[in-house]
């Protein structure tokens, strides 16, 4: 099949959605499909720019390329699925969350003016129309599918995808908690830093980069965590796999996350995950005292959880092993078979 | 956001007043709602959006139409056929010319001629005889900045009439289950029909069908609740069908408490009408709340009820046969009644949940209140980009852009 995977691109930014779509193209090609990535820059501000930028996708002619038919397009995150195609499948990574559950929070975008309120509703209407056109509609997690159902009434099949391909392996714990999430506020790495400040037995390695880095480094400095919290920045695949292999647990607690590859990466390394009761998508697979620890979004609770997993290596290994059994079931073979069925 | 809310409110005797009394508290969880006093001519200062509840009764909605004429806003369209309303605010105010103009605006010169016939009393009043042929919704649609409707039927009629603005289809809200004991009325089963007793509620057909049921099930009773319309000779019909005596129980107009008690006593609810004015039935919604199986006419909003909650009867030569068969099935199958009742209750607490309805309505308020400004910005930016690469108005490329904008409801 000739398949175009659609991805909006925020220039200079790279996160889970980018890794997912790159990998999807690779995996489709590995199965003999003629797959390619179609990417359009995306800027969602100011004001109605979110709509005009989304509209760019509508003007694309993706029915054929260079005289050859494109059989299927796969939309992923907002606004790529606004594109037209007779066989438009959507594997929804997320909608434009500022128009939904983030509205009215500090992570929201739309103010109280009638124009901003209408803009938010117009984004929702655009979703309803564009996602309603899909011939098959999948969501990466039950959390994403639930939000979609609540916001548009559309039903998506839950289809998780495997995490990025790393040389996953497991090794004895060196006692630190790993955070490999992108450094932005929604990932709440500050909760982990505050936990480390409260719990002297907790050491932390932060292996990522992002716009929140300066603030997080300031918090670490102000809490006197030098030596116990190490910011490694964005690391290569080999180093990341090594950190996963040698940590005692992985912290992954974004606010109401869509899917989150972090738990799967931890599980494939045989490590348990610490997450929070309000984390959203990760709760599909992180089950308390089965594959990790699920605690309230409170630094003291997170600190206790991290210390407990460090002290109870056998339990931590069992949780990681249970998680691995779940992650092993999520394969590209299965996912692609469903996507194209 | 602040909304000026033009609607009949209790104690006014109107189904839409009851509707608003139920809905306004839930709406206030989302937007600020100022319910304006009856007769107000304009929305108060500081209003972001005026919301007008328009129905067919000129006594109840005439002043609301007057206000809409002064300040366009969002219309909650409870009926699509508004002939009676238009006649009331024209002929009813000694403005025959207004009626002639309304008929001509929507039905051309022929409409004006027919309207003359009505004014000269050479033709029977159209609002009584043939309103569905002359709905006269055009003026309201032209003034509306957006519509909230309760059915696909009204949405389709509005689009067919050329309305191009935002239409939000939002279910009618359901009342919570009332704390009321069922009235003690025997019947095995007890079949209830609530509303005016007249031809358009298909009472003649219901009586014929019920007479057949009663021949087979002597314990069956029919509860008719509502005022008898002038000219409808109920007693003669009952006598002819042999239903005088204890077969039919009559109650006239009843208050809300008694209404719920009577409805709760019934095993089956019948809600028939033809022609439809595009309305939703408040009593049918109450039946859903109570978890009662419904028998309805297969028209308008009633057609859109899920199959699991209502048996639908088409108007036509087999109407009485089908109606009798439906009543018989529900009389003989308590399991079917129970299953339909459970589905009805589920529908009332999900689709028609008042908080869900309020969320959807307030979303529509927000879309309409600032939607014009958003559309202007989007269109300006797109047209500037198009002009920047030499796409001029009227070219095929410009037409394609407009078509794509329209597809995704971005104002093209």
Q: Do the domain assignments include residue B368?
A: no
Region of A153 on the Ramachandran plot (φ > 0 left; ψ -120 to 50 alpha; else beta): left
Alpha carbon of A137: minimum distance to chain B alpha carbons (Å)? 18
Q: How high does pLDDT run on average in chain B? A: 95
Same domain, A180 and A236: yes
CATH of the domain at A256: 3.40.50.2000
Q: Do the domain assignments include residue B177?
A: no
- 3-state SS class at B77: strand
Q: Do the domain assignments include residue A336?
A: no
Across B341-370, average pLDDT: 97
Q: Tens digit of pLDDT for each residue in B183-210?
A: 999 999 999 999 999 999 999 999 999 9
Same domain, A62 and A140: yes
For residue A168, give the nearest of A271, A317, A96 by alpha carbon. Answer: A271
Same domain, B165 and B194: no
Same domain, B250 and B207: yes
Q: Do the domain assignments include residue A150?
A: yes
Q: Do the domain assignments include residue B42?
A: yes
- 3-state SS class at A339: helix
For residue B89, give the nearest of B79, B78, B80, B102 by alpha carbon. Answer: B102
Q: Using a pLDDT cut of 90, give the percent of chain B over it.
A: 96
Same domain, A238 and A129: no
Q: How many domains does chain B have?
A: 2
**CA B275 to chain centroid:** 13
One-character DSSP codes across B165-207: SEEEE-PPPPPPPPS-PPP----TTEEEEES-BSTTTTHHHHH
Minimum CA–CA partner of B366 in chain A: A118
Q: Do the domain assignments include residue A169?
A: no
What confidence score (pLDDT) does residue B411 get?
72
* Chain A residues in contact with B401 (beta carbon < 8 A): 59
Using alpha carbons only, give the angle A32, A37, A41 rounded to the nearest 5 degrees: 175
For residue B136, give the nearest of B168, B104, B93 by alpha carbon. Answer: B104
Same domain, B217 and B108: no
Domain extent, residue B115, equals 2-169
Q: Do the domain assignments include residue B352?
A: no
Q: Phi/psi of residue A167, each to 5°?
A: -75, 70
Using alpha carbons only, give the angle A239, A241, A242 rounded to the nearest 5 degrees: 60
Residue ending a domain, among B305, B326, B346, is B346
Q: Tens digit of pLDDT for each residue in A258-293?
A: 888 899 999 999 999 999 999 998 999 999 999 999
d(CA B293, CA B273): 17
d(CA A79, CA A99): 12
- 3-state SS class at B403: helix
* Chain B residues in contact with A124 (beta carbon < 8 A): 363
d(CA A157, CA B190): 44
The pair of structure tokens assigned to A336 is 């692609």
d(CA A214, CA B300): 61
Same domain, B13 and B157: yes
**Do B369 and A117 make contact, defined as CB atoms within 8 angstroms?**
yes
Same domain, A149 and A17: yes
Same domain, A154 and A192: no
Q: Do the domain assignments include residue A338?
A: no
* DSSP state at residue B228: B
Q: Which of A50, A111, A115 to mutate to test the interface with B (most CBs of B within 10 A)?
A: A115
For residue B126, give the nearest of B140, B137, B111 by alpha carbon. Answer: B111
Q: Tens digit of pLDDT for each residue in B259-282?
A: 999 999 999 999 999 999 999 999
Across B172-180, average pLDDT: 95
Q: Do the domain assignments include residue B355?
A: no
- Whether the predicted pLDDT of B22 surpasses 90: yes
Same domain, A151 and A7: yes
The pair of structure tokens assigned to A9 is 């691109």
**Do A115 and B409 make contact, defined as CB atoms within 8 angstroms?**
no
Q: For residue A274, list its beta bridge partners.
A: A251, A293
Using pLDDT thresholds of 50, 70 and 90, give the confidence band for residue B245.
confident
Q: Which helix (H) or strand (E) holds B405?
A: helix B396-407
Identify residues of A whose CB sits under 8 angstroms from chain B CBs: 47-49, 51-52, 55, 58-59, 82, 84, 112-122, 124-126, 129-130
Same domain, A217 and A81: no
Same domain, A241 and A145: no
Domain extent, residue A41, equals 2-159
For residue B1, give the nearest of B73, B53, B50 by alpha carbon. Answer: B50
Alpha carbon of B14: minimum distance to chain A alpha carbons (Å)? 32
Q: How many domains does chain A have?
A: 2
Across B209-223, average pLDDT: 97
Q: Do the domain assignments include residue B364?
A: no
Same domain, A82 and A181: no
CATH of the domain at B85: 3.40.50
Same domain, A88 and A14: yes
What confidence score (pLDDT) does residue B263 get?
98
Residue ending a domain, among B346, B364, B396, is B346
Q: Do the domain assignments include residue A50?
A: yes
- How many CB atoms are located within 10 Å of the residue A163 CB? 23
Tell the residue number behind the tokens 């909006």, with chain if given: A8
Q: Do the domain assignments include residue A170?
A: no
Q: Using a pLDDT cut of 70, give the percent of chain B over it.
A: 100
- Whether the predicted pLDDT of B412 surpasses 80: no
What confidence score (pLDDT) does residue A40 get?
97
Q: Tens digit of pLDDT for each residue in B55-111?
A: 999 999 999 999 999 999 999 999 999 999 999 999 999 999 999 999 999 999 999
Q: For residue B268, list its beta bridge partners.
A: B191
Same domain, A103 and A246: no
Torsion sign over Cα A95, A98, A101, A106: positive
Q: Do the domain assignments include residue B382?
A: no
Residue ending a domain, among A96, A125, A159, is A159
Q: Which of B47, B366, B369 to mutate to test the interface with A (most CBs of A within 10 A)?
A: B366
**Do A82 and B378 make contact, defined as CB atoms within 8 angstroms?**
no
pLDDT tens, chain A, 341 aa long: 999 999 999 999 887 789 899 999 999 999 999 999 999 999 999 989 999 999 999 999 999 999 999 999 999 999 999 999 999 999 999 899 999 988 998 889 999 999 999 999 999 999 999 999 999 999 999 989 999 998 888 999 999 998 888 999 999 999 999 999 999 898 999 999 999 999 998 999 999 999 999 999 999 999 999 889 999 999 999 999 999 999 999 999 998 888 888 999 999 999 999 999 999 989 999 999 999 999 999 999 999 999 999 999 999 999 999 999 999 999 999 999 999 99
Count A/B contacts: CB-CB distance under 8 Å: 76
Same domain, A141 and A180: no
Residue ending a domain, among A131, A159, A187, is A159
Tell the residue number behind the tokens 């001029």, with chain if given: B392
Q: Do the domain assignments include residue B380?
A: no
Q: Which residues, other chains included, contact A79 with Cβ-Cβ below 8 Å and sequence gap of 6+?
A: A8, A42, A53, A54, A57, A96, A126, A130
**Do B369 and A59 make contact, defined as CB atoms within 8 angstroms?**
no
CATH of the domain at B227: 3.40.50.2000
């Amino acid at each position: 099949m000739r398949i175009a995977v659609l991805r909006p691109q925020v220039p200079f930014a790279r996160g889970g959605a980018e890794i997912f779509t790159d990998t999807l193209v690779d995996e489709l090609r590995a199965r003999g499909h003629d797959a390619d990535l179609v990417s359009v820059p995306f800027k969602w501000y100011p004001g109605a720019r979110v709509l005009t930028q989304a509209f760019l996708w509508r003007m694309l002619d993706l029915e054929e390329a260079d005289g050859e038919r494109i059989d299927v397009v796969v939309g992923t995150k907002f606004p790529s699925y606004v594109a037209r195609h007779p066989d438009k499948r959507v594997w929804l990574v997320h909608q434009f969350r500022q128009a939904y559950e983030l509205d009215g929070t500090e992570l929201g975008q739309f103010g109280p003016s009638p124009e901003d309120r209408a803009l938010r509703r117009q984004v929702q209407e655009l979703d309803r129309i564009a996602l309603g056109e899909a011939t098959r509609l999948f969501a990466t997690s039950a959390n994403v599918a639930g939000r979609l159902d609540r916001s548009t009434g559309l039903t998506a099949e839950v289809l998780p995808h495997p995490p990025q391909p790393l040389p996953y392996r497991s090794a004895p714990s060196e006692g630190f908690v790993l955070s490999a999430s992108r450094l932005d506020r929604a990932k709440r790495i500050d909760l982990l830093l505050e936990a480390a400040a409260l719990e002297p037995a907790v050491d932390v390695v932060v292996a990522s980069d992002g716009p929140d880095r300066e603030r997080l480094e300031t918090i670490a400095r102000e809490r006197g965590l030098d030596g116990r919290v190490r910011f490694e920045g964005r690391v290569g695949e080999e180093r990341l796999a090594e950190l996963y292999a040698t940590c005692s647990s992985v912290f992954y607690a974004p606010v109401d996350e869509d899917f989150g590859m972090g738990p799967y990466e931890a599980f494939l390394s045989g490590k348990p995950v610490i997450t929070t009761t309000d984390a959203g998508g990760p709760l599909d697979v992180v089950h308390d005292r089965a594959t990790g620890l699920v605690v309230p979004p409170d630094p003291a609770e997170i600190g206790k959880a991290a210390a407990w997993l460090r002290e109870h290596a056998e339990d931590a290994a069992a949780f990681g092993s249970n998680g691995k059994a779940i992650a092993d079931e999520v394969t590209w073979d299965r996912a692609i078979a469903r996507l194209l069925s | 956001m602040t909304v000026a809310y033009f609607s009949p409110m209790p104690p006014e005797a109107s189904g839409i007043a009851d509707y608003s009394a139920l809905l306004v508290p839930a709406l206030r969880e989302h937007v600020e709602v100022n319910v304006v006093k009856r007769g107000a001519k304009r929305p108060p200062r500081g209003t972001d959006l005026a919301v007008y509840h328009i129905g067919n009764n000129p006594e109840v909605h005439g002043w609301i139409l007057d206000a809409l004429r002064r300040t366009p806003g969002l219309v909650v369209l409870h009926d699509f056929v508004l002939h009676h309303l238009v006649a009331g605010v024209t002929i009813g105010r000694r403005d025959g010319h207004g009626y002639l103009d309304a008929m001509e605006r929507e039905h051309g010169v022929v409409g004006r001629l027919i309207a003359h016939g009505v004014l000269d009393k050479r033709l029977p009043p159209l609002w009584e005889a043939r309103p569905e042929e002359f709905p006269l919704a055009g003026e309201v649609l032209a003034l509306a900045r957006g519509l909230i409707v309760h059915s696909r039927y009204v949405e389709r009629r509005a689009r067919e009439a050329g309305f191009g603005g935002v239409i939000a289809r939002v279910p009618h809200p359901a009342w919570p289950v009332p704390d009321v004991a069922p009235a003690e009325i025997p019947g095995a089963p007890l079949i209830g029909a609530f509303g005016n007793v007249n031809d358009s509620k298909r009472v003649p057909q219901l009586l014929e069908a019920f007479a057949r049921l009663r021949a087979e099930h002597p314990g069956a009773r029919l509860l008719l609740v509502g005022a008898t319309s002038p000219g409808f000779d109920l007693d003669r019909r009952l006598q002819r069908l042999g239903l005088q005596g204890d077969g039919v129980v009559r109650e006239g107009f009843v208050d809300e408490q008694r209404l719920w008690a009577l409805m709760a006593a019934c095993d089956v609810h019948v809600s028939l009408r033809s022609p439809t004015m595009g309305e939703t039935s408040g009593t049918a919604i109450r039946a859903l709340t109570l978890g009662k199986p419904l028998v309805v006419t297969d028209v308008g909003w009633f057609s859109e009820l899920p199959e699991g909650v209502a048996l639908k009867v088409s108007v036509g030569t087999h109407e009485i046969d089908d109606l009798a068969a439906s009543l018989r099935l529900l009389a003989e199958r308590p399991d079917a009644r129970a299953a339909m009742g459970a589905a009805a209750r589920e529908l009332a607490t999900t689709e028609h949940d008042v908080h869900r309805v309020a969320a959807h309505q307030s979303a529509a308020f927000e879309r309409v209140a600032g939607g014009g400004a958003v559309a202007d910005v989007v269109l300006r930016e797109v047209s500037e980009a198009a002009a920047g690469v030499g796409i001029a108005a009227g070219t095929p490329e410009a037409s394609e852009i407009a078509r794509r904008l329209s597809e995704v409801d971005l104002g093209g």
